[in-house]
Amino acid sequence: MIVYPAIDLRGGRVVRLQQGDYAAQTSYPDDPLALAQSYAQQGARWLHVVDLDAARDGVSQARGLIGQLAQLSGLLVQTGGGVRSEADVEALLELGVARVVVGSVAVREPARVLRWLAEYGSERVCVALDTRADAAGVYWLPLDAWTRDSATGLNELLDLLSQGALLKHVLCTDIARDGMLAGPSVELYRLLLARAPAIALQASGGVRDVADIVAVRALGCAGAIVGKALLDRRVGLAELLEC
């Protein structure tokens, strides 16, 4: 299983949000490139980068920085946030990004994302199914940096995108756990893997420690995104990579 240290960027700075709330932001003094290089030195192979400005506003202020991370960090970079067109996908790939993450566009236009998977390859495109449960426990897929609700259900979209065996990499964030250090959404991931056993699922949201990594690996997750726990130094990256 791959552990993906995560760097969320806003205004060129490393930040973390709580449950996707832009008003609940914690800023960190770390230089993004130096931080990424330190993760590489500790043994990481991949880096997960989120462009929060582009995710909310559709305009990236971080493309140059993402290019530096892809070219100079020593890590394979997976990045998303505000990817809404073929031009966005191609621009990121040209910067040296290894894998582009698409979210809201997959909810709005799943057929378009299936075309991207066919054109760019299943290794180059990851679908982010960022989800929030309603009072009845049904999971829905909010849009635009989680600021707008949609009428698309998690299971419905997963079934649609799984047709044709093009979909491989899926990143699923339980929004209620994002940035909360409350542990990963184990039951959610168990259900997703039972429904689509062929996907390489990345668990995101709530990872706190080695035990959480062990738990999602035992489920069959192919990866785990770890952000706040590393930035707050609650756990060391080397510990997570060794478990």
Residues marked as catalytic: 8, 130
Determine phi and psi for 86, rounding to 5 degrees: -60, -35
Any idea how long the chain is?
Answer: 243
Q: Which two tokens stand for residue 41?
A: 């030195």
d(CA 83, CA 92): 9
Q: Are 86 and 131 spatial neighbours (Cβ–Cβ below 8 Å)?
A: no
Strand blocks (E) in 44-148: 46-51, 76-80, 99-102, 125-128, 132-133, 139-140
